[in-house]
Structure 1
Amino acid sequence: MFNIPVDAWYAWIGLSIAGITLIGAVSGLPTTKPPDAAAVATTIDRVGAAEYPATAEHPLTADAIRLGTYRIGLKSDAGTAHATLAFGPVTPVFSESNNSHDNHLRDILYGSPPTYVFDSEAAFLDAVTTAQANGMNVTWRPVDGPVVIRRVSWNDEDVVLVGV
């Protein structure tokens, strides 16, 4: 059909090069799928839209997270995924901060009532406002556990805290 003799050396070299190229292309493909940012966003939205105070955790397969007041991004070796939050704004809380307000918000995120941590509702709302303003300057941060989401209320103020 092609009139190439099977014992021709150039045919074997061409097939070898094509095979090596195919193996190289396949080995460069990711072996896992990118992290599922949409599932994390759905969990955050469900807690945020709850009628009463609620808490949830969502496990992560990502190496880094980018958490803003209205968006979330997850990154791993397999790729990057982003999702927009339907509920917002949320208050990002990160563990590596040295700010005392962030430490107080982290205590609330992990179960302390806001009335035990802050002296007044105004101090609580000031810490929330500061954390949300810092959430506008989002950067990639390492992931060391699941995403924790907590919706808390103080009088008529409802706040959704999200942290890793």
Structure 2
Amino acid sequence: MFETHVDTLYLWVGLGTVSVAVLGILVGLPTTAPPDATGAAATIDEITTSPAGSVTHRGLIADKWLLTSREIRLRNDGGTATARLIRAVVPARTDQLRTVLDRKRPAVVYDSPDAFRRDVRAARNTDADWRPAPDRLTVRHVAWGGTDVTIVG
């Protein structure tokens, strides 16, 4: 009366199949959350709308990043996140811009306001590519010799 061996075999095969499927789904899930590009963009936008001389820092949890004048993209094992910026920024792609980003006055780094303006223009027009992400994002609003920019690095 209680002997349903054929049904038991189907039950075990079905249970095994479901278990393997669930295990496959769990293994395929990312182990970390995607990076917070929106938060990084909000930090950048806050400084672009602040007075010249404003500086801030923000920790980044990402393996790679791509920064253009109007967009930031962050990538890690959890995925890729993109956020648009309110105003155009200048990626700190040259040693001189990185020095200005690190709180040196442009007058100390550049020979003239025109040299600063040319470096800013070149940094904006350089093609962006994925680079290793820094642990900390630095944003500085700089105005000198008629050039008013926000440098990000």
TM-score (normalizing by structure 2): 0.91
RMSD: 1.6
1:52 Cα offset (Å)? 3.1
Work out whether 1:109 is the aligned partner of 2:109: no
Output aligned runs, 1:1-164, within 5 Å.
5=4, 8-88=8-88, 90-94=89-93, 102-134=94-126, 137-163=127-153
1:31 Cα offset (Å)? 2.8
Counterpart-to-counterpart distance in 2, 1:5 and 1:43: 66
1:28 Cα offset (Å)? 1.2
**Identical amino acids, percent of aligned pairs:** 36
Does structure 1 retain, via aligned residues, the 8 Å contact 2:60–2:134? no
Counterpart-to-counterpart distance in 2, 1:8 and 1:104: 74
Distance of aligned partners of 1:157 and 1:144 in 2 relative to their CA distance in 1, 3 Å threshold: closer
- Runs of 4+ displaced beyond 3 Å: 4-7
Q: Secondary structure of the equivalent of 2:118?
A: helix
Counterpart-to-counterpart distance in 2, 1:126 and 1:13: 70
Amino acid paired to 1:131 = A
* 1:99 aligned residue: none
Counterpart-to-counterpart distance in 1, 2:95 and 2:52: 24
Counterpart-to-counterpart distance in 1, 2:36 and 2:4: 52
Q: Secondary structure of the equivalent of 1:8?
A: helix
Unaligned 5+ segments in structure 1 are 95-101
Task: Report Cα offsets for 1:16-66 as digits up to 9, x if no partner.
Answer: 111121122122111322001010000001101102311111111100001
TM-score (normalizing by structure 1): 0.86
Unaligned 5+ segments in structure 2 are none
1:158 Cα offset (Å)? 1.1
Q: Secondary structure of the equivalent of 1:153?
A: strand
Q: Secondary structure of the equivalent of 1:161?
A: strand
